[in-house]
Amino acid sequence: MHIENSKPTFEIEDGKRFHIPGAVLHGKCPKCKSDVKIDFSDDYLSYPDTNTPFAFSCYCRECSHEWKVTMQLNVELVLVDEKAAKR
């Protein structure tokens, strides 16, 4: 068996607040150079489009600067070997 993924773009319809536990964006504020950390356990994407780039707004708590970064949420369905999946 195999799964064909053509990676079309689609919106996650129930993704009003789409959290991604374990995904943390680290960076520096382009204005004041403070360390910025956006943890997607707490923060979220709203109705994200998949498999295509989108703009995400970052916010610096130190100087209230806002800027955008480009991200992409990849969704791909894969078959997993049953033995490998059991722990």
Q: Are 58 and 36 in contact (CB under 8 A)?
A: yes
Matching residue, tokens 């991604």: 20
State which residue, 17 or 33, has the beta carbon closest to Zn ion: 33
Among 7, 2, 80, CA closest to 49: 7
State which residue, 43 or 49, has the beta carbon closest to Zn ion: 43
State which residue, 15 or 27, has the beta carbon closest to Zn ion: 27
User: Which token pair is 6?
Assistant: 């053509």
In the complex, the smallest distance separating the C-beta of residue 60 from Zn ion, rounded to whole angstroms, is 3
User: Which residues of the shown chain bind Zn ion in the complex (CB under 5 A)?
Assistant: 29, 31-32, 34, 60, 62-63, 65
